[in-house]
Amino acid sequence: MRMRLGCRLSFQLPAPTPMILLLNVHYSRASDLERPDLLVTEPAVAIEAYRDVFGNWCNRVAAPAGRFVVSTDGLIRDAGLSDPVEETAEQYPVERLPSDVLTFLLPSRYCESDLLSDFAWGRFGETALGWPRVRAICDYVNRHVRFGYEHSRATRTAVETLNEGIGVCRDYAHLAIAICRCLNIPARYCTGYVSDIGQPAPYPPMDFAAWMEVYLGGKWLVFDPRNNDIRFGRVLIARGRDAADVPLSHSFGHHDLKSFEVWIDKATKTDDLPQERR
């Protein structure tokens, strides 16, 4: 399966503003790109690319005052498989975990696992270890949180999501991650594309998505507490402890996001050449 993916974000800046942008497909999928999703800016500015501490591709720019547009547009090959299901994946005790996984057991900015421990053990302490326990956590979060873009708040934490029962995909992910960490299950935050391939129409406007990866059976496995169903065409952009590590855009100054467009669709022959989307 071939997919066309990309985005276009338009900002209004009152003054020259340094920015960091995480909008490119993760390096682990680089070999699948038929046309790289290179970052383009309007007006054109110098772009410095670097890897952060988690290995994510980042782009650093000095955006001028006024209207500033960033966009990507790429073609990627995908096996067309759903997220893997491994119902026998076991949970390792902490002493058997690799050292580089331990950081994903600790509290972080949006995942206050230190404050949720009593709740997590009280609600999930009797569930079977491993895959069944993570599945139970995702089922709970999916039922407990009511989705709506009108509920979006950039500063909402896992504890606030639990108490308020509302949020967007990042809030679902943060709450599920925090509960997993309470139960000694390493979990990390992911952002990227999730296509509507295989889903019934009508389709809502496309957006970037957030999900989590959980360390079970000696590897990282995808869980998506927001959608909580079988999904195809998932493409990672970045991963970290929570959304504070992997914002799609971070500006060192005031900015207004004027427009936001995301796409990921099955590619057609006409997609072999870049097309401008406005």
CATH of the domain at 63: 2.60.40.2250
Q: Are the C-beta atoms of residues 74 and 33 closer than 8 Å to each other? A: yes
Domains in the chain: how many in total? 2
Residue 89 forms part of a structural domain: no
Q: Are residues 190 and 124 in the same domain?
A: yes
Domain that holds residue 12: 2-78+247-265
For 42: left if phi > 0, alpha if psi spans -120 to 50, otherwise beta; the answer is beta
Using the predicted structure, report yes or no on whether residue 256 has a pLDDT greater than 60: yes
Between CA 242 and CA 142, with CA 133 as vertex, the angle to 5 degrees is 60
**What is the CATH number for 224?**
3.10.620.30
pLDDT tens digit sequence for 166-183:
999 999 999 999 999 999
100 is a domain residue: yes
Distance CA(78)–CA(37), nearest Å, equals 15
What is the average pLDDT across 133-158? 96
pLDDT digits (tens, 9 = 90+) for 66-119: 999 999 999 999 988 889 899 999 999 999 999 999 999 999 999 999 999 999
Name the band, by pLDDT with cuts 50, 70 and 90, for residue 273.
low
Q: Distance (Å, rounded) from C-alpha 188 to C-alpha 105? A: 9
Query: Given pLDDT bands bounded at 50, 70 and 90, which one contains residue 276?
Result: low
Name the token pair of 121.
Answer: 């053990």
Q: In the chain, count of helices (H) and strands (E)?
A: 4, 15
209 and 142 belong to one structural domain: yes
